[in-house]
Amino acid sequence: MWTVVYIAPNQKEADKLEKLLATEGFLVKLRAIGLPQANNPCSIEILIPESEVDEALEIINTI
């Protein structure tokens, strides 16, 4: 089961975190929340397998 570990405010930050977590060996999925608007891009959920959540949060909290 996939679990949300972070909600990025935009695609650029989501891509950065996805790359960092993937480099550390985690499986990562991104999922958009809502619909993007011209002046307000949609937020992106960062999902990790439930069994790896604690380790992923440790890495996210260090940055």
Residues sharing a CB contact under 8 Å with residue 38, sequence separation 6 or more, in sequence order = none
Query: Which pLDDT belongs to residue 41?
Result: 75
Q: CA-CA distance, 39 to 16, in Å (whole number)? A: 21
Residues sharing a CB contact under 8 Å with residue 14, sequence separation 6 or more, in sequence order = 8, 30, 44, 46
Give the end-to-end CA distance of the chain in Å, rounded to a whole number: 25
0.75 exceeded by the pTM? Answer: yes
Domains of the chain and any CATH numbers: 2-62 (3.30.70)
Structure tokens belonging to residue 60: 């996210």
pLDDT tens sequence across 8-58: 999 999 999 999 999 999 999 999 998 767 666 789 999 999 999 999 999
